[in-house]
Amino acid sequence: MNRRIAFGFFVAMVLIASGFTLSFYSYNQYGNDTERVRHTYEVVGSLETILSLVKDVETGSRGYVLTNDTTYLEPYKIALSLLPGRLNQLHTLMGDNSLQVQRTTLLDQLVKAKLEVSQMRVKNRMAKVPIVLQLSTEGRLRMDALRRHVAIMVDTERTLMETRNRQAARSFRNTLIIIFTLSLLTFLSLVISYRLLEQELASRQQNEDQLRAYESRLKEQIRQLEASNEELERFAFVASHDLQEPLRKIQSFANLITDRYGNLFDGDSLMFMDKIVHSAERMSKLIKDLLNFSRISNHQEEFKPVALATIVQRILDDQELRIKGLDVRVEIGQLPMIQAIGSQMDHLFTNLISNALKFTRVDVQPLLRIQANPIDGSTYPELISGRLYFEITVEDNGIGFDEKYLDHIFKVFQRLHGKSEFEGTGIGLAICKRVTVSHHGHITARSQPGKGTTFIVVLPESQSLYDYDRSNPTENYSYSAS
C-alpha cells in the first residue's frame, strides 16, 4: 500500500513536470509562431511604405514639372532620403525567405529605374528643357511594374501570414489541450493517491484498534499471570514448610519404629520400613528441587560479577568424599568471571557435576573435565551476533545417551533411566535449562551411548539492559510423572 501511494504521488509529480515542460514548449512554439506573424506584418508594412515613398517621389516630381512650384519638391526629397534605408530594412526582413530575397533584389532595380525617370524629369524642368512625353509614358510604365511587383510580394507575405496565423492558433489550441489533459491526469492521480492514503489510514486505524484490544487482553493475561505467580509462590511456601514437616515425621517415626522394634520384624517388614524411609527422603528431595526450579524465575536477583572458578571449586569441595570414593579424575581449566546470579550458577554447576559423578561406567575410572572458551554470539543462532560469550563444557566419560533424546532431557520429570538404576528426581537438567535461559544464554549436549557426555553451557560475559528487557524464549516442559 505504501508503494502504491508513493507511486501515485510520483506519477502526479511526473505529470506536473511533464505538463510544465510541454506547456513551456507549446508556449515557446506559440510565441515563435506569433513572432513570425508579427514579422510578416512588418514585411508587408515595409513594402507598403516603400511603395508609398515611391508614390511621393512620383507625385512630387510630377507636381513640380507641371507647376514649376518648388514646394512639391519637399516630399520628393524626403522620400528620396528615406528610400535607401527602407530598402535595406526590407533586405534584412526578407533574410529568411530566399524567394522574397530575389524579389527584393528585383524591387531594388524597379525602384531605381523609377527614380531615374523621376529625377530626369525634375532635372529637365530645372534646366527648362521642354517636357518629353516619352519620359512621362516610361515613368508610368515603370510605376505600374513596380506596383505589380509590390502587390505580388505583399500577396506572398499575406499568404505566409495566414499560414502562420493558423500555426499560431493551432499551437495555442494544442497548449490548452495539453494543459487540460495533464491537469486532468494529475487530478486523477492525486484523487487515486488520496483514496489509497485514506484506505491506508483507515487500515492503520483498524490495526491500532486491534492492537489496543490486544493490549487490553494482554494486560488481563498479565494480571492473571501475576495471580498465578502468587499462587505458585504460596505453593512454594507450603512445599518448603507444610509438606516438609509431615515427611520429616514419617522419616523420624519410621526410624524410631525400626530402632525399637526392628528385632521383632522379619525380613519383609524391614524391607518395607526401609522403602518407607527412602520414599520419604526422595519426596523431600523432590519438593526441594521443585522449590528451587520455581524460585529461579520467580525470585530474580541482581546480576553481579561472579567468578565461576570459585563456584566450581566450592562444589568440588562439597563433593570431595564422593569424588575420592569413586576415584574421579578431575581436570578444571581456566574459568571466566561473568555477570550472573551466584545462587543460580551454583544450582547450574551442582546439577551438571552431580550428573557427571552419577552416570559412571563400571570398571572405568570416571573423568570430570570442565573448560571454557570465549566465542562470538554468531556461533549459535539463539544468541546475539557480535557479543562476547563463554562456551563452558562439562565433560564426563560415563554411560552417555542417544542424542535423539537431547530435547527430552531438559524437561521436568523426564528421565532416561529408571529410579532403581540411578537416583534423582528428573528436575536437575530442567533447572540448568531455566538458569541458562534466565541468563540469556544457551545449553545443549553432545553424547553417545557408552562414550560419555559433554554438556555445553554458553553464557554472556555481561548482561545489557537490552537483555533485561528481552523476553525469554518459550520453554515447553512436560509434567508427566511417567
- Tell me: the pLDDT tens digits for 185-194? 878 877 887 7
Supply the mean pLDDT for the chain.
79
| 426 domain-assigned | yes
Does residue 127 fall inside a structural domain? Answer: yes
Q: Are residues 11 and 134 in the same domain?
A: yes
Residue 416: is its pLDDT beyond 90?
no
**What is the domain extent for residue 320?**
301-469
Supply the pLDDT for residue 338: 92
On whether both 27 and 173 belong to a single domain, the answer is: yes
Range of weakest confidence among 21-25, 68-72, 294-298: 294-298
Q: How confident is the model at residue 312 (pLDDT cuts 50, 70, 90)?
A: very high
Does residue 479 carry a pLDDT above 60? no
Q: Is residue 474 part of a domain?
A: no
Residue 340 belongs to a domain: yes
d(CA 82, CA 351): 123
Assess whether 183 and 47 both reside in one domain: yes
312 and 180 fall within a common domain: no
Q: Is residue 201 part of a domain?
A: no
Q: Please give the pLDDT value at position 310.
A: 93
**Domain assignment present for 284:** no
Q: Check pLDDT > 50 for residue 468.
A: no
Q: Is the pLDDT of residue 477 over 60?
A: no
Q: What CATH number does residue 444 fall under?
A: 3.30.565.10
In a domain, 226, yes or no: no
Residue at which a domain ends, from 174, 196, 218: 196
* Burial (Cβ within 10 Å: 0-12, 13-18, ≥19) of residue 453: buried
- Give yes or no: residues 322 and 191 share one domain: no
Pair 168, 306 in one domain? no
Specify the pLDDT at position 393.
Answer: 93
Lowest mean pLDDT among 55-69, 77-91, 151-165, 417-431: 417-431
Query: Residue range 167-191: average pLDDT?
Result: 79
5 plus 123 within the same structural domain: yes
- pLDDT tens-digit map of 391-412: 999 999 888 887 777 877 777 5
Choosing from 196, 219, 253, the residue where a domain stops is 196
Residue 350 within any structural domain of the chain: yes
pLDDT value for 185:
80
Q: Where residue 474 falls among pLDDT bands split at 50, 70, 90?
A: very low
Whether the pLDDT of residue 309 is over 90: the answer is: yes
Residue 482's pLDDT band (cuts 50, 70, 90): very low
% of the chain residues with pLDDT over 70: 84
- Nearest residue to 367 (alpha-carbon basis) of 325, 333, 396, 393: 396
The pLDDT of residue 369 is: 92
463 or 307, higher pLDDT:
307
| pLDDT tens string 345-386 | 888 898 899 888 888 888 888 999 999 999 998 888 888 888
Domain closes at, from 169, 196, 223? 196
Let me know whether 305 and 185 are in one domain.
no
Taking residues 408-426, report their average pLDDT. 55
pLDDT of residue 59: 84
Residues 191 and 306 in one domain: no
* pLDDT band for position 130 (cuts 50, 70, 90): low
Q: How many domains does the chain have?
A: 2
Q: What is the pLDDT of residues 248-261, one digit of tens each?
A: 778 788 788 878 87
pLDDT tens-digit map of 264-303 = 777 777 788 777 877 777 677 667 766 666 666 555 668 8
